[in-house]
Amino acid sequence: MLILGLVILVVGGELLVKGAVTIANNFKISPLVIGMTVVSFGTSAPELLVSLQAALDGNPSISIGNVVGSNIANLALVLAITVLIFPIVAERQTKIVDWPMMLFATFLFYIFSLDNQVVFWEGAILVSILITFTFLLIRKSRKENKEIDDEELNENGSTPKGLILLAGGLVGLYFGSEWFVEGAVSIAKAFNLSDRVIGVTVVAFGTSAPELVASTVAAYRQQTDISVGNLIGSNLFNIMAVLGITSMVTPISVEASVLSFDMYWVIGIALAMLPILFIGKKIGRIKGLLLLATYITYIILVLSKT
């Protein structure tokens, strides 16, 4: 299951990137915007489904842990592994538009959580901001009319073909991550690891696997805009759509431990993107090692608190 999941993840990531680039070219949208919207929303869809199911089952607080863990892993783990393999360059729009928006969403999430719950009207605000931002992002990109110079992908790259590739990639990432987690959990249990340890290590990594594969494949194919946009967009989607929609279904309680510990890590890692994006031309391997060390430190502290 572990090996099969990994293979399908890789194939799904390849299809996803090919489909996304084809659609971006046909609709005159930049690959960064495709990464911020279609790719990031697609790779974060499992988190939304998990959170909604938890809310309907009477456990909406699971949504908070889901979003917090995913947002920390996306930047401190997934981005770290991506740049350790393929150093990437962040576009100007990422620095002056997308990252500030992600930071704004993170602080808004913190403010809404101060009373230990996120309620309907707060969720409605989050969803409304996301819809408006996405609309403006796509409109701006279409006005700039950016083209993608990639003959291999543009050859016979019709919109229906792009949509089929995109859908196939998303399905592959979803089932690949499911099987990867199932196989990894079985192996971990065979070594008598506790559920808590499995949750914060194997499962956390598995649920971030779609973002990881999509980002590394995009970086490998020199579509680094999709790579960066996917991760920032995923964090934005997690807060504004996953929490927003779930809190509109039922109020989400925020535990005191999340506010006093995990939330500071989410905010801290989001703020750490400032020097990572603005110092130097690339997000290179040294920055990747620092991010990875940050994630390992977080996991160690989480385990020590159990």
Residue keyed to tokens 């109020």? 251
- How would you write the pLDDT of the chain (306 residues) with one tens digit per residue? 878 887 887 788 778 878 877 887 787 787 778 888 878 877 777 777 777 777 777 776 677 877 888 899 989 999 998 899 888 888 888 899 999 999 999 999 999 999 999 999 999 999 999 999 999 988 888 777 554 444 444 444 678 888 898 888 888 877 887 787 778 778 777 877 665 566 556 666 776 777 888 888 888 877 777 778 888 988 999 899 989 998 998 898 888 888 888 899 999 999 999 999 999 888 989 999 999 999 999 988 887 876
283 bridge partner residues? 88
The one-letter amino acid at 198: I
Number of neighbours of residue 128 by Cβ within 10 angstroms: 12
Q: Is position 23 within any domain?
A: no
Q: Is position 191 within any domain?
A: no
Q: Is position 159 within any domain?
A: no
Q: Is position 53 within any domain?
A: yes
DSSP of 105-163: HHHHHHHHHTTSEE-HHHHHHHHHHHHHHHHHHHHHHHHHT-----HHHHTT--HHHHH
Distance CA(16)–CA(20), nearest Å, equals 6
CATH number at residue 253: 1.20.1420.30
Q: Which domain holds residue 264?
A: 31-144+208-304
Q: Is position 179 within any domain?
A: no
Q: Is position 35 within any domain?
A: yes
3 state SS of 240:
helix
Q: Which string of b and e fits 155-181 if b means at least 16 CB within 10 Å?
A: eebeeeebeebbebbbebbbebbbbbb
Domain count for the chain, please give it: 1
Distance CA(188)–CA(185), nearest Å, equals 5
The one-letter amino acid at 45: A
The one-letter amino acid at 133: F
Q: Is position 154 within any domain?
A: no
Report the chain's C-alpha Rg in angstroms. Answer: 18
Distance CA(207)–CA(163), nearest Å, equals 24
Q: Is position 193 within any domain?
A: no
